Amino acid sequence: MAARSVILGIDLGTTSVKAALVESAPGDPSGFLVLASCARAARAEAAAQSAAAGPQGREQDVSRIIQALNECLAALPQQLLQEVCGIGVSGQMHGVMFWKTGQGCEWTEGGASPVFEPRAVSHLVTWQDGRCSSEFLASLPRPESHLSVASGFGCATIFWLSKNSPEFLKSYDAVGTIHDYVVAMLCGLPRSLMCDQNAASWGYFNTQSQSWNLEILRTSGFPIHLLPDIAEAGSLAGRTSRAWFGVPKGTRVGVALGDLQASVYSCMAQRTDAVLNISTSVQLATSMPPGFQPAQTPDPTAPVTYFPYFDRTYLAVAASLNGGNVLAAFVHMLVQWMADLGLEVEEPTVYSCMIQAAAQQRDTCLTITPTVWGERHLPDQLASVTRISSSDLSLGHVTRALCRGIVQNLHSMLPFQQLKEWGVERVIGSGSALSRNEVLKQEVQRAFPFPVSFGQDVDAAVGAALVMLRRNLNQKES
């Protein structure tokens, strides 16, 4: 009997870490089985943000993210982990962290096998970071790329640090996303390695030549020695340098992928599918035909962008900064109001009650534009509430309007008629904010002129595993 091909998929998200064990479905080369999965809240918001970044800074504690990852793996069946023959990793795009080569982590005995703990690392500056003002971004050189640069993008953050905290950069010699870091630590890589998906999300990367804008960056005083080496998405990064939670030493590890592309990979069965992911933020993506090349002139005001996928193809993506984080901000506001009134209520209780109230309120005239975080193409836009009447002030009305607003905001970025013109016939919904919110599901089904089906909360972790399973399992490491 042939040995099982079990793949471990990991997704390092903004608010949670997920892991899944996946194998091929017997007798179906394109099918797969999720043998086990686990999710843990990261709770990684850094207690002490960088003072220089000001109130717009958004940083996460890398140690807490790795702790959540360790908890996930410890909860998976040990027997299955011992059968793992490949690891796929994805995570939150755009963000940047720094580490010192050879000192980025320390391996310690953690029960059955070693675990690694971060050591000489910085905080993760996330995609939500707002330290780069519109004026600062306007002062940066124009990229040689079809993608513009926004606050929270890796290269913009590094530019900001080089101009405002140059001493900070002297402490590190490696840089990457949080998922690039995990791959580097697992494999003991001598240099940071990044796939084209994540490099494009940083800015100043040309997807046609598969290279950084080195001359533009060098001329502008950017520390180009920090930039990671580039690998094709779906290729191998290396092999595990140690046993890890039962996963054998020498197990193949794929180069880290973007969480958007991993989610799409796990959900999109046909080219006529569009994938709607609502987690902390929102992405609506569909694949462009083979041979499609985006115009090489960046347009910061365009709400739809084209991100690299696999095999030199692209996804058309409407990426909103306002998704589950808007609902979380609303819950936090309610809890804070009640605390001001002398009442203590836990956030999960408030969330459950407001969804239940909205489920009973099937419609509302209240209109909420939920852009509390602005949008990359409209960075100065704020949220608003209109059509307020005395009959629409209940918790159910407001929550229903908020969920509807999240979907309608996406519609304003990528009109659903455009999807029809691109040949889309079905929408597949995924992401943690969508999977646990029946009201949001109702609003998605109401808004789209297509059949809508819903995936799982662990889609990105499963997608990372499937890329490893289908693209690397039978390849020899180069």
Q: Rounded to 5 degrees, what are φ and ψ at 442?
A: -60, -40
User: For the whole model, what pTM was predicted?
Assistant: 0.92
CB atoms under 10 Å from CB of 355, counted, come to 20
Query: Could you give the residue ranges of the DSSP H alpha helices within 26-93?
Result: 62-75, 78-81
**In 293-369, beta strands by DSSP E:** 304-308, 314-320, 367-369
Q: What is the pLDDT of residues 253-305, one digit of tens each?
A: 999 999 999 999 999 989 999 999 999 999 999 999 989 999 888 888 999 99
Give the separation between CA 199 and CA 196, rounded to whole angstroms: 5
And the tokens for 8?
Answer: 């471990």
Tens digit of pLDDT for each residue in 3-20?
678 999 999 999 999 999
The per-residue pLDDT for 3 is 62
pLDDT at 447: 93
Confidence of residue 110 (pLDDT cuts 50, 70, 90): low
**Among 55-69, 231-245, 290-304, which stretch is predicted with the lowest mean pLDDT?**
290-304
> What pLDDT digit, counting tens, does each position of 409-464 carry?
999 999 988 999 999 999 999 988 999 999 999 999 999 989 999 977 678 999 99
- The pLDDT of residue 475 is above 70: no
Question: Is residue 375 helix, strand or coil?
Answer: strand
Query: Can you list the positions of beta strands (E) in 42-112?
Result: 59-60, 84-91, 97-99, 105-110
Residue type for position 316: A
Per residue in 71-105, pLDDT (tens digit) is 999 999 999 999 999 999 999 999 999 999 999 99
Q: What is the pLDDT of residues 335-377, one digit of tens each?
A: 999 999 999 999 999 999 999 999 999 999 999 999 999 999 9
141-187 tens-digit pLDDT: 999 999 999 999 999 999 999 999 999 999 999 999 999 999 999 99
The full DSSP string for 257-275 is EEHHHHHHHHH--STTEEE
Spatial separation of the C-alpha atoms in residues 432 and 415, rounded to whole Å: 24
Beta-carbon contacts of 79 under 8 Å, excluding residues fewer than 6 positions away, are: none
Helices (H) and strands (E) in the chain, counts: 16, 25
The Cα 133–Cα 24 span in angstroms is: 47
Q: Which has more confidence, 25 or 177?
A: 177
Instruction: Summarize the confidence of residues 214-219 as an average pLDDT.
Output: 98
Q: Which residue has the higher pLDDT, 2 or 419?
A: 419
Mean pLDDT of 33-55: 88
Return the amino acid letter for 55: P
Mean pLDDT of 385-402: 97
Instruction: Output b/e per residue, 15-36; b: 16+ Cβ within 10 A.
Output: bbbbbbbbbbeeeeeeebebbe
- Compute the mean pLDDT over every residue in the chain, rounded to the nearest whole number: 93
CB-count burial class (<10 Å; 0-12, 13-18, 19+) for 311:
exposed
What is the percentage of the chain residues whose pLDDT exceeds 70?
97
Neighbours of 172 (CB within 10 A): 19
pLDDT for 477: 41
DSSP assignment letter at 45: B
The pLDDT, as a whole number, for residue 236 is 96
**Would you say residue 1 has pLDDT above 60?**
no
Task: Find the largest Cα–Cα distance for the chain.
Answer: 69
Give 476's pLDDT tier (boundaries 50, 70, 90).
very low
Residue that wins the pLDDT comparison between 32 and 474 = 32
pLDDT band at 59 (very low <50, low <70, confident <90, very high): very high
pLDDT of residue 109: 79
User: Percent of the chain, pLDDT > 90?
Assistant: 87
